[in-house]
Chains A and B, each alone.
Chain A
Amino acid sequence: MLAVTTKHLRTNKRGISNVIVVMLSLVLVVIIVSNVVLWSYQMNEIDWERMQEKLSLVDVERTSNSRWFTNQREYVLSGGSQLLGTYNDTQAIDGAYESFVEGSNDSQQLNINGDFALDFASYPIELVRSIEIQAYYRANDSLENWFMKAYNWTNGEYDNACFNSTVGDTPTPKFGYYGVNAINGWQSYVQNGTIRVMLYNERADVNQTSADIDFFGVRLVLNKPRFSFTNEGSMVSHVVSIWITNATSHTRYDADFFVDSGANSVYMELAIDLPVDSFTVRAVTERGNIAVFNKN
C-alpha cells in the first residue's frame, strides 16, 4: 500500500504542486487571521480597561496644610507648675496628656510657653499663607478664658495682633479644641524657623486652675491646591493632565500620579493656580477618561 502511494506521488507531480500551493495559502491566511485576532484582543482589552476605570474627583481645595509641628522640649512655665506627664504627651491626641496647675498665689496666672520648630525645607516659606496654632486641652475653671499669643520678634514681646481671633476660649471639664491662625504678618512671629507660642489663662482668681494638655501643635497653611480623588474601579488610574477652566481661560497642567484601586488619594501641586471665581477642574487619565469637579 505504502509502495503504491509513494509511486503514485512520484509520478503525479501536479498533486504535489497543488498541495504546496494550498499549504502556503493556508499559512498566509493563518498569519493574517491570527494577527487580526490577537491585535483585536489586545485593543478590546484596552477598551475594556477604559470602561472599567471609575475615577472621581471628589474635592478641590485652594490650600493644604503641612504636618503638625510639636514642641520638642519641656514647656517653660510661669505662674504655675507641672503636675503630671511630659511634653511628649502633648504631641498627639492619644489620651496621654501633660497636667499643669496654677500657682497658689491668687494673683498668679498660668503661662505655658513652647518653641515650635517649623520645617521650611520641606514647605517653602514663599508658599506659606498662614500659621495655625491648635491645642486640645481641658481646664477645671470655666470662669477663666484661655488665650494664645506668639512672640513677635520684631517688637520683642508676645502679642496676638496678627491672629484671626483674639476672643480666647472658654474651657470645659471635657477635652476640646482651641485654635487660632496667624494670618497677615505671620512672618514677624518666626525667627530661624521657630515660632514661640504662649498658652495662658485670662486672669487669676481664688480658684487654683489646673489644665491638662493632650495636644499642642503648630502647622503651616500653604497656597497649594489640593485635589482629592477616589478610585472606585478595579484598576490603578494614572492621571496625566489636569485642566482648570473658567469663562476666560482653559489651562492645562501636566500631571503624573497614580490612584490605587479602591483608594482615596490627595494630589497637591504647587504650579497650579486656581482662579478666584468659580471654575471647573478636569483630570484626564492615561486611558482617556475624564473626572470632573465644579467649584462655585
Chain B
Amino acid sequence: MRLLKRWVRNKRGITPVLSSLLLTVIAVAAMALATTATYVITTNLRETMSERLIIEDVWFNNSTGMIQVYMRNTGKVAIHVSGVYVNHTESYFSRPFNLEVYQHQWLNISRSWSAGDVCSIDVVTTRGTHVGGYYKAP
C-alpha cells in the first residue's frame, strides 16, 4: 500500500518512460517508411528493367480498315500500353491493352493509310518502354 502510494506520487518516473516510448514509435515508423520506400523504389526499377515487348506481325487490314499489330510480351512483368504513335501522331487504339507475361494478342489501331505508305509505328508502355519501327503498307 505504501509502495503504491509512492509510485502514484512519483511523477518524475513517467517522463522518461513516455519519452522512450515515443522515441521507439518514431524509430519504428521511420524504419517502416524507409523499408517501404526501399521496396517501392526497387520494385519500380526492377519492373522498368524487366519490360520486353516484340511485334510479331503488322497487318494493314483492308477488310477492317485498321492497322493491326500483333504483340507478344517476352519480358518478366505484365505490360500496359499507354499510347500508340503512327507517324509521330498519337492514334486511337483498343484500350485498355494489357499483356501478361508471355501473353500475345492483336492491338488494333484506328488509322487510315494508302497502298505503299511507309508508316512509323511506335507503341509506348506505361513504364516508358518503346517498341516499333517502319512498316510499308502493301
Contact = CB atoms under 8 A, between A and B. Distances in A.
Interface string B50-81: 10101011010100000010101010100000
A39 B38 contact: no
A52 interface: no
Interface string B15-50: 000000000000000010011001001100110011
A43 B57 CA distance: 24
Contacts of A250: 57, 59, 61, 68, 70
A288 B42 contact: no
Given A35-B45, A36-B45, A282 B56 contact: yes
Interface stretch (A95-103, A175-183, A241-249): A241-249
Contacts of B70: 250, 252
Interface string A222-256: 00000000000000000001010101001010000
A28 B52 contact: no
A28 B49 contact: no
A31 B31 CA distance: 14
B138 A39 contact: no
A243 B57 contact: yes
Nearest to A47: B52
Contacts of A28: 34-35, 38
Interface in A91-124: none
Contacts of B127: none
B52 A288 contact: yes
Interface footprint category on A: 20 to 34
B56 A43 contact: no
A243 B76 CA distance: 24
A39 B57 contact: no
Interface footprint category on B: 20 to 34
Nearest to A39: B46
A22 to B, nearest CB: 13
Most B C-beta atoms less than 10 A away, residue of A36, A245, A286, A288: A288
A32 B50 contact: no
Interface of B: 31, 34-35, 38, 41-42, 45-46, 49-50, 52, 54, 56-57, 59, 61, 68, 70, 72, 74, 76, 104, 138
23 contacts: A28-B34, A31-B38, A36-B42, A36-B45, A39-B46, A39-B49, A39-B50, A43-B76, A46-B52, A241-B56, A241-B72, A241-B104, A243-B56, A243-B57, A245-B57, A245-B59, A250-B68, A252-B57, A284-B54, A284-B56, A287-B74, A288-B52, A290-B54
